[in-house]
Each structure stands twice: as structure tokens, then as C-alpha cells.
């Protein structure tokens, strides 16, 4: 299965809506993210748009974790990034990589998540597998903030049941039939769920919808067939160095 693109723009829109990032700063950061392949959080902090601890608090809230910053928490410049950009990974997979969770424990928790609509973090903490601070540390790692954020930046972390909006993950449930596979109050939680399903290789397409003020808005979509077509098509911009469909001819220069 082709690896789907992470929905950086919808995540950035959430940060703009919460007043943490300006639209112009987001557009510039997204352009750099596309160019470098680095995660959006890394780019925003490196550009000085937001501090690592503040961004971590906002991201953790999307995973259902309320984080209190320590009085000594302060903005610090990010250290130089590693030479190769690191890929975004689902929260559960990261916890396994960090040794905080076993594959068997993650599999059981994901099965419960699909049938209970409870967030993965809530399930893992309830089962005693991880602590809330383990979850925060994984969020920091997930978004490339470990060079700008330290454990001492946070006084406490607790699970939250608050949800200002609802996100639904929709997928195929039989030929020509679609159903809601998971419903949650956080965008990052919905994204984690979708990518864990895709990593399992048993879904040809998925959609994430945001429900707010009586409206249902699609914020992310993946279709394996379309992704395969896009991967097989040549990147004409990369090939020519410009978009030939928009080329208007060579530039004109004033006569000497």
C-alpha cells in the first residue's frame, strides 16, 4: 500500500482557528514543509512562530490530554534539525518504538478503540499500559518537537473528556457501502486511527470529516487507487523545473 500524505494543512488550520498561528505564517510554514519534508511542528518552531511547549499543549489537547505548562517553561530556539527528515508515525506505533508499549497491547487497544469510540490514549492509560506523560512525550516525538521541548516544561497532564467538535473516520464497509468506523473529539486522534487502519493494509479508502455547527466537512481523504495513479504519473514540475501548463513564454527584457 502506498503511504498516504499526512494532512498537515487541516492541522495547521486548527492552530489558526485557535489563535496560535497566523494564516500567513501557516502558509509560509506549509510551503517550507513541502520543500523540506519536515514535519509542520518542526518548521513552525524553527521559524519562531510558536514555542515547542505551547505547540505541544495544543497538539496534546487534540489527543484528549490536558497539559499544564510549568512556571519555568519558556520558548527556546530549536536545535539544528537532523540531516534527514523523519516521517510522521501514529501515536501507538511510536509508543511501541519507545518501549512504553508492546505490539500485543497496542493491538488489543486498537480493537477496543474501534468498538468503543474511546480515544487510544484513554484506553492505554485506563489499562495501565502508559501514563499521561508518556503520551505527551510521544506527541513531542511524533511532531518533531524533542529539540525544542523538555519534560520539565510540563507540570501535569491529565485525560480530558471535553470535545468542542466531532471528527468521524469513514471507510468502506462492504461493496459500495460506507460507514463511520470511528468517532472522536480530536483531529489528531482521528488521524492516528485512520493511519493505524491503513498501516494494517485492510482499507482501500478512508475519509475524515469534521462535524461542527450542523455541518459535515471533509478534511482529509485517501484512496489507494488514486494514490497509485498519482505515483505512476511523472512530476512535470520536478522534471522541467516549472509548470508547463502555466508557462506563458520566455520573459521579455527591455531593449538595451
Query: Average pLDDT in the 90-112 region?
Result: 94
Q: How far is C-alpha 174 from the chain's CA centre?
A: 28
Q: Which stretch of 45-49, 93-97, 174-178, 211-215 has the lowest confidence by average pLDDT?
A: 174-178
% residues pLDDT > 70 (the chain)? 80
232 confidence band (pLDDT: 50, 70, 90): low
pLDDT surpassing 90 at residue 140 = yes
Rounded distance, CA 113 to CA 102, Å? 16
Query: Average pLDDT in the 65-87 region?
Result: 73
Q: Which stretch of 79-88, 141-150, 212-221, 224-233 has the lowest confidence by average pLDDT?
A: 224-233
DSSP H or E segment with residue 121: helix 120-126
| pLDDT for res 86 | 83
pLDDT surpassing 50 at residue 241 = no
With beta carbons less than 8 A apart as the criterion, state whether 236 and 189 touch.
no
Q: Count of CB atoms within 10 A of residue 141's CB?
A: 18
User: Taking all residues of the chain, what is their mean pLDDT, rounded to a whole number?
Assistant: 83
pLDDT surpassing 90 at residue 207 = yes
204 confidence band (pLDDT: 50, 70, 90): confident
Per DSSP, which regions of 63-197 are E strands? 65-69, 154-159, 166-172, 178-184
With beta carbons less than 8 A apart as the criterion, state whether 200 and 171 touch.
no
| pLDDT for res 82 | 57
For the whole model, what pTM was predicted? 0.79
Per DSSP, which regions of 70-204 are E strands? 154-159, 166-172, 178-184
| pLDDT for res 78 | 57
Grid coordinates representing 32 are 517550507
**Which position has the higher pLDDT, 73 or 56?**
56
| pLDDT for res 104 | 96
pLDDT surpassing 70 at residue 27 = yes
Query: Average pLDDT in the 64-85 region?
Result: 72
pLDDT surpassing 80 at residue 114 = yes
93 confidence band (pLDDT: 50, 70, 90): very high
Question: Bridge-partner residues for 178, per DSSP?
Answer: 172
pLDDT surpassing 50 at residue 1 = no
% residues pLDDT > 90 (the chain)? 56
Q: Helices marked H in 18-102 — which ranges?
A: 23-36, 40-46, 52-62, 91-97
77 confidence band (pLDDT: 50, 70, 90): low
| pLDDT for res 219 | 93
Q: Which stretch of 95-109, 181-195, 224-238 has the lowest confidence by average pLDDT?
A: 224-238
| pLDDT for res 13 | 92
Amino acid at each position: 500500500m502506498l503511504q498516504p500524505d499526512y494532512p498537515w494543512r487541516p492541522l495547521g488550520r486548527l492552530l489558526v482557528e485557535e489563535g496560535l498561528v497566523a494564516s500567513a505564517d501557516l502558509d509560509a510554514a506549509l510551503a517550507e514543509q513541502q520543500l523540506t519534508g519536515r514535519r509542520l511542528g518542526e518548521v513552525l518552531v524553527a521559524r519562531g512562530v510558536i514555542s515547542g511547549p505551547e505547540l505541544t499543549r495544543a497538539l496534546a489537547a487534540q489527543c484528549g490530554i490536558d497539559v499544564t505548562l510549568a512556571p519555568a517553561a519558556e520558548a527556546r530556539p530549536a536545535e539544528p534539525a537532523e540531516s534527514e527528515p523523519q516521517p510522521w508515525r501514529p501515536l501507538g506505533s511510536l509508543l511501541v518504538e519507545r518501549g512504553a508499549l508492546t505490539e500485543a497491547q497496542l493491538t488489543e487497544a486498537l480493537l477496543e478503540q474501534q468498538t468503543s469510540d474511546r480515544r487510544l490514549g484513554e484506553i492505554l492509560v485506563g489499562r495501565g499500559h502508559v501514563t499521561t506523560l508518556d503520551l505527551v512525550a510521544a506527541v513531542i516525538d511524533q511532531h518533531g518537537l524533542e529539540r525544542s521541548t523538555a519534560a520539565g516544561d510540563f507540570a501535569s497532564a491529565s485525560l480530558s473528556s471535553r470535545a468542542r467538535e466531532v471528527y468521524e473516520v469513514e471507510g468502506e464497509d462492504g461493496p459500495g457501502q460506507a460507514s463511520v468506523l470511528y468517532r472522536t473529539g480530536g483531529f489528531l486522534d482521528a488521524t492516528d486511527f485512520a493511519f493505524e487502519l491503513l498501516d494494517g493494509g485492510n482499507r482501500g479508502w478512508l475519509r475524515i470529516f469534521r462535524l461542527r455547527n450542523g455541518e459535515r466537512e471533509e478534511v482529509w481523504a485517501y484512496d489507494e487507487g488514486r494514490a497509485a495513479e498519482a505515483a505512476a504519473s511523472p512530476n512535470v514540475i520536478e522534471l522541467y523545473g516549472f509548470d508547463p501548463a502555466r508557462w506563458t513564454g520566455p520573459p521579455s527584457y527591455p531593449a538595451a
